[in-house]
Structure 1
Amino acid sequence: MASEDILVEQLKQGDGAAFKHIVDTYQNMVYNTCLSIVKSQEDAEDLAQDVFVQVYQSIHSFKGESKLSTWLYRIATTKSLDHERKKKRKKRFGFVKSIFGEDAQVEVNPPDFHHPGVILDKKENAAILFRAIYQLPENQRIAFILSKIEGQSYQEISEIMQTTIPAVESLLHRAKNNLKKILES
């Protein structure tokens, strides 16, 4: 932890090498988190860059009360969710195609993409899984992605989502039950 504190302090002093080290260390994690939420490689790359710009600009607000990686996950998650909300508000469906099914429910069909955190034998299975994940309510979806795709602990998820561990456990339990219902239908 001492080396992380030193790195953060160096970044606060404007040390370019410290910033490069942070980018090199966390760029894959940040990109994968963004990709899990926005489903577009191009958008995920842009958002990952935005995350590091925000880190550089707001490092002085980092108090060290959580790990640096937790702070980065929080920024990446927030930026990705904001991006998705803006897309929905502006009704830009460049990467998400919504079709009304027979029961008037909106069915989201994510594009065919490769996510480095998901290894499945068949792309069809990945598409089915992601289609089901994106039907979950937002908090359940984020908790599920952070847990099952990003491999975060309940403690880390609670810090990223700024909630309690029991709330994370509840979100994950509901997400699993909802996914089971979605995948069975």
Structure 2
Amino acid sequence: MKVNCNLFDIKLHIIGVAGINLETLVQKAKTGDVQAFREIFESFSSKLFLYLLSRTSAREDALDLAQEIFIDLWKELGTFEFRSDEAFSGFIFSIAKRKLYHYYQSKRETIPLDENLPGASYEMETNDYRYLTKHINMLAEKYQELLKLRYWSGLTFAEIASVLNIREGRAKVWHHRAIKKLQTLMEQHGEAI
């Protein structure tokens, strides 16, 4: 069954799944309901795209990866047992992490430290944003990923915990530590958060 999802129409604002019963959509999509899958796609595409863009720094690569991820999601949906909205979000982002791993292997690159990533706030001035991104990229990988999931993709701590395969409390602790380390780095370089 072919799913027609045009990723070039992705809206660049973050949308959530509030107001829809995700469990019902997942169950319908598992039976081949293309409209239910399209609603899942529309609910998660922006979050996923922003996350991928923060990891690849290339719009075209992020779009290609997003498309591959939704194709894999369609194929793997039958193996998913719905427990919660957060677990489903984690399922999608675990597919994304796997695709990113293969993406980096194929390019023989490490995770980029590009400073031209999209900002969580479009009002932030470019220089401030570059300065902040530069310091985020100095953090340990787990803190970088957590901050990008939280601020670029707008995920909740429960969703982040599911993606990173940790408990929600641990995600909150890592977030607190990441912010403290980021603040220390910026203070060492003459600016504070």
Q: Which of the five TM-score ranges fits, normalised by the shorter chain?
A: 0.7 to 0.9
Give unpaired runs (5+ residues) of structure 1.
97-107
1:19 aligns with: 37
Provide the C-alpha distance between the structure 1 equivalents of 2:110 and 2:175, rounded to a whole number of angstroms: 30
C-alpha spacing 1:25/1:91, structure 2 compared with 1 (3 Å): closer
The range that moved more, 11-20 or 50-59, is: 11-20
Give unpaired runs (5+ residues) of structure 2.
1-18
1:173 aligns with: 176
Which residue type is aligned with residue 116 of structure 2? Answer: D
Question: Which of 116, 136, 145 matches 2:148?
Answer: 145
Aligned length: 168
After TM superposition, the structure 1 = structure 2 runs for residues 1-185 of structure 1, keeping only pairs within 5 Å, are 3-67=21-85, 68-80=88-100, 82-83=101-102, 85-86=104-105, 90-91=108-109, 96=112, 108=113, 110-113=114-117, 115=118, 117-184=120-187, 185=189
Shift of 1:91: 4.2
CA deviation string 1:137-179 (max 9, x = no partner):
1111111122233333322221221112232123112211221
C-alpha spacing 1:139/1:53, structure 2 compared with 1 (3 Å): same
Q: What secondary structure is seen at the aligned counterpart in 1 of 2:166? A: coil
* TM-score normalised by structure 2 residue count: 0.73
C-alpha spacing 1:179/1:78, structure 2 compared with 1 (3 Å): farther
CA deviation string 1:71-113 (max 9, x = no partner):
2233334433x1564267x2489xx4xxxxxxxxxxx4x1534
**Mapped contact 1:154–1:169 kept (Cα < 8 A):** yes
**Mapped contact 2:119–2:152 kept (Cα < 8 A):** no
CA deviation string 1:13-39 (max 9, x = no partner):
222222222222221111012112222
Aligned-pair Cα RMSD in Å: 2.7
* TM-score normalised by structure 1 residue count: 0.76
2:11 aligns with: none
Provide the C-alpha distance between the structure 1 equivalents of 2:110 and 2:161, rounded to a whole number of angstroms: 31
Shift of 1:50: 1.5
Name the one with the larger strand percent: 1
What stretches of structure 1 move > 4 A for 4+ residues in a row? none
CA deviation string 1:53-75 (max 9, x = no partner):
11101001111023133422333
Q: What secondary structure is seen at the aligned counterpart in 2 of 1:47? A: helix
**Mapped contact 1:136–1:175 kept (Cα < 8 A):** yes
Provide the C-alpha distance between the structure 2 equivalents of 1:171 and 1:121, rounded to a whole number of angstroms: 24
**Mapped contact 1:66–1:159 kept (Cα < 8 A):** no
Provide the C-alpha distance between the structure 2 equivalents of 1:142 and 1:31, rounded to a whole number of angstroms: 15
**Mapped contact 1:154–1:165 kept (Cα < 8 A):** yes
Percent identity of paired positions between Structure 1 and Structure 2: 23
